[in-house]
Amino acid sequence: MIFENSLAFAQQLDAQDPLSHYQNEFSFPQVNGKKVIYFTGNSLGLQPKRAKAYVDEVMNDWATLAVEGHFYAEKPWWDYHERFTNPLSKLVGALPTEVTVMNTLTVNLHLMMVSFYQPTSKRYKIICEEKAFPSDQYLFQSQVRFHGYEPEDAIVEVKRRKGEHNIRLEDVVAKINEVGAELALVLIGGVNYYTGQVFDMKTITEAGHKVGAYVGWDLAHAAGNIELQLHDWQVDFAAWCSYKYMNSGPGNASGCFIHEKHHTNSELPRFAGWWGHNKERRFKMEPHFDPVQGADGWQISNLPVLSLAPYLASVELFAEVGMEALIKKRNTITAYLEFVLHEIDREVKGNFEIITPSNPKERGCQLSVFLHGEGRSLFDYLMKNGVIIDWREPNVIRLAPVPLYTSFENIYRFGQILKSGILEK
């Protein structure tokens, strides 16, 4: 498509966009009496308006039914999480038995490592990406120390080549082969939080398995953003938070995937609790743990139903739209943002460098832009003028034109605000 940096052109794209009305499904903060242009859905997604009704329903059932709500609520609480399995499994390319919701992301990754990181003196190393999200780094360090190894020795980072912003697939595979028989686990962010780079999860998973390692993925920036085929890719496990692209609300529950091939393996250690116990017999209060055969068998505690309620509202919204339609719009709107950035760069003789891969297959909806020569004052200007972005030192802005609630007109208007912010300084 040949783009134009004009209001009329952007409005024409909106008129042709089958998802444009979904913007009305969300609540937007306001600045100067106008809805903001919201580019930080990769950090905290907007509130779907329908979420409130789901929360109210649980509050009402609690008030009127109290303990009876476990079985007689409108959506009974004791198996509330099972309402996620169908829609959520479709979003991540899994079988319904392979997904569950519980805890929060880093907690789930720790629990997954209980099962899938069983180091021996010969095979104890973990491969991750250079500058992984800090929580993941702390996860790796504390896990290897817990097992009596040294992080400097046991954690192997795949590095960027000098002068490059992204990690090359061939370098990941080469590192996996190099560590080979010493490799216990590969655990990488499927979409890098800083650059927005999407990794080739199928190829990396295959390479890890070839040398006898388990392969898991942190999908914090992937769930609800990119196409996932976790079952077919033979991924061992994955987990994601739901408050970024999945719009479930601050700090909300994590989704978790465990491949079918592991469901009946009684050799795998796990930390157990009563909510993972055989569903039919859960309330018989038996002394021996008999796990549900499926991802639900990794559940520990009874569920925080109040917090799952807005997540369920959002998952149902995603199921209604479908990842295919979402990805189609995402590709166009991200490309339009890229185009507008280049146009403004040309007009103001700026020096913008988009560090996210330009290949649409290697990115989702985030563009990370190095604004050479600009400072924090530009960030302040954008925020004051109703553009919500995030700023990373030294001067990188991350922009996520989330397809569910961003319009093409938003992109055009952002370009104009960016331009005046640079010209005004």
Ligand X SMILES: *Cc1c(COP(=O)(O)O)cnc(C)c1O
Report the binding-site residues for pyridoxal 5'-phosphate.
105-106, 133-136, 218, 221, 243, 274, 302
Provide the token pair at 271: 């930390």
Q: Quick check: 418 and 50 in contact, CB under 8 A?
A: no
> How far apart, in whole angstroms, are the C-alpha atoms of residue 353 and residue 397?
11
Q: Quick check: 169 and 185 in contact, CB under 8 A?
A: no
Whichever of 105 and 213 has its CB closer to ligand X, that residue is 105
Residue 68: C-alpha distances to residues 40, 72, 77, 138, 281 (Å): 40, 6, 9, 41, 19
Chain residues binding ligand X by CB under 6 A are 104-106, 133, 135-136, 189, 193, 218, 220-221, 241
CB 233 to ligand X: min, Å: 18
CB 131 to ligand X: min, Å: 11
CB 5 to ligand X: min, Å: 31
Which residues have C-beta within 8 Å of that of residue 333, sequence separation ≥ 6?
A: 365, 401, 403, 406, 408, 411
Selection from 97, 396, 363 nearest residue 256 by Cα: 97
CB 220 to ligand X: min, Å: 3
Which residues have C-beta within 8 Å of that of residue 365, sequence separation ≥ 6?
A: 42, 225, 330, 333, 334, 400, 401, 402, 403
- What spatial distance separates the first Cα and last Cα of the chain, rounded to whole Å? 34
Whichever of 241 and 389 has its CB closer to ligand X, that residue is 241
Provide the token pair at 4: 């134009």
CB 17 to ligand X: min, Å: 28
Whichever of 106 and 314 has its CB closer to ligand X, that residue is 106
Whichever of 44 and 95 has its CB closer to ligand X, that residue is 44
CB 105 to ligand X: min, Å: 3
Binding region = 105-106, 133-136, 218, 221, 243, 274, 302
Q: Tokens 């938003």: give the residue.
A: 410
Provide DSSP, 305-318: HHHHHHHHHHHHHH
Whichever of 142 and 351 has its CB closer to ligand X, that residue is 142
Whichever of 245 and 275 has its CB closer to ligand X, that residue is 245
